[in-house]
Structure 1
Amino acid sequence: MTIDNFDKAILRCLQENTRFKSEYIAEKVGLSATACQRRIKRLRDSGAIKKEVAVINPEIAGKPVTLIVQLVVGRCGAEVLDRLKQDLIVLPEIQQCYNVTGAFDFVAIVTVKDMEAYEQFTRRLFFDKPAIKEFETTVVMEKVKVGLEIPI
């Protein structure tokens, strides 16, 4: 799918706030409300917009502790690795997870209530998984920037 400058402007508006009315977006980007609605539908249907969610304050949700966890996977077959990926995907404590190059195989952003909850999490995930050779944890002291906006 190709997107033009109108689509880019619409996406920028929606990344700012998905609750903007199409009339407001249309005015901002220089289109009619109907044309804007059609473009938004096309962007959703084509997968250009993957998901629309509410961003919840972790403190309000009772999960104020954020950790960056780096995993090293031991030598294992594709089946074991695929199972590990599925385990990482379904854990609600893991906010983001990346398969990376370098000294580590995966980097995960984890959100928990406190360090005791993190210890229980590590026991469930890391100590009971034969694929995980080692892990290293960094505790986030201050969230300087948090976001998922893509520069458009």
Structure 2
Amino acid sequence: MAANSSPLDAFDLAILAILQRDNKIPQRTIGERVNLSAPAVQRRIRRMEEDGVIAANVAVVDPAQVGQPITIFVAVEMESERADLIDAAKRQFAATPEVQQCYYVTGEADFLLVLLVPTMAAYEALTRKLFFTNNNVKKFKTFVAMDRVKTGLEVPLG
């Protein structure tokens, strides 16, 4: 939330809980559920969008239905943690479409990546591009998901 943004109240949290499950629900229906008028709901949603609380309105796509059935988690350990080299890795990971999520973390690894690929051959090609050609990658460890049990699309609100 931006420094100049309004604090979230119980109405905002209730609206967010509904929108996280389905952001196509009419504002009138949201208003009925949280006991506000549709215009009040609209103003609150607009404010939360402007403040960055609502970061995007997107469609959640099943990767397998669009030819990306393999989810891979990769722990990446860097050779050097110089700021310029870490920033370069962040830019490369962020610019790679197969990288769905990228976290700069503490612990044994420096980055945790979540990737989507159509085949293991595609993953092998991606490892060459992201890891083997990068002199700052010391090592990486791969974990292949066997089942998507929960993807965590809802932020816990409280």
Report TM bin, short chain: over 0.9
Using the alignment, how far apart are the partners of 2:100 and 2:35 within structure 1? 36
Structure 1 spans left out of the alignment, 5+ residues: none
2:8 to 3, 12, 15: 3
Rounded Cα–Cα distance in structure 2 between residues aligned with 1:60 and 1:82: 34
- Which sections of structure 2, spanning at least 5 residues, go unmatched? 1-5
Identify the residue that residue 119 of structure 1 maps to in structure 2.
124
- Report deviation, 1:90: 0.9
**Offset, 1:60:** 1.2
Aligned partner of 2:45 in structure 1 is 40
Taking the aligned partners of 1:23 and 1:92, their CA distance within structure 2 comes to 37
Distance in 2, matches of 1:70 and 1:76, equals 15
Deviation at 1:143, TM superposition (A): 1.2
Q: 1:64-143 maps to which residues of 2 (within 5 A)?
A: 64-143=69-148
- Cα distance in 2 for partners of 1:59, 1:36 equals 35
For 2:64, what is the secondary structure of its paired residue? coil
CA-based RMSD:
0.9
User: Distance between the aligned counterparts of 1:149 and 1:90, measured in 2?
Assistant: 25
Alignment partners' CA distance in 1, 2:134 and 2:153: 30
Corresponding residue number in structure 1 for 2:3? none
Pairing 1:63–2:68 present: yes
Q: Give the 3-state SS of the residue equivalent to 1:34 in structure 2.
A: helix
Distance 1:146 1:75 in 2: 32
Match of 2:19 in 1: 14
Aligned to 2:28: 23
Q: Deviations over 1:78-102 (max 9, x none)?
A: 2121111100001110111111111
TM-score (ref. length: structure 1): 0.97
**Partners of 2:100 and 2:25 in 1: CA distance:** 26
After TM superposition, the runs of 4+ consecutive aligned structure 1 residues lying more than 2 A away are: none
* Rounded Cα–Cα distance in structure 2 between residues aligned with 1:131 and 1:52: 36
Aligned length: 152
Q: Distance in 1 between matches of 2:36 and 2:7?
A: 18
Aligned-pair CA distance for 1:151? 0.9
Look up the SS of the partner of 2:75 in the other structure.
strand
Asked if 1:50 is matched to 2:46, the reply is no
Deviation, 1:53, is 0.8
Task: State the TM-score, normalized to the length of structure 2.
Answer: 0.93
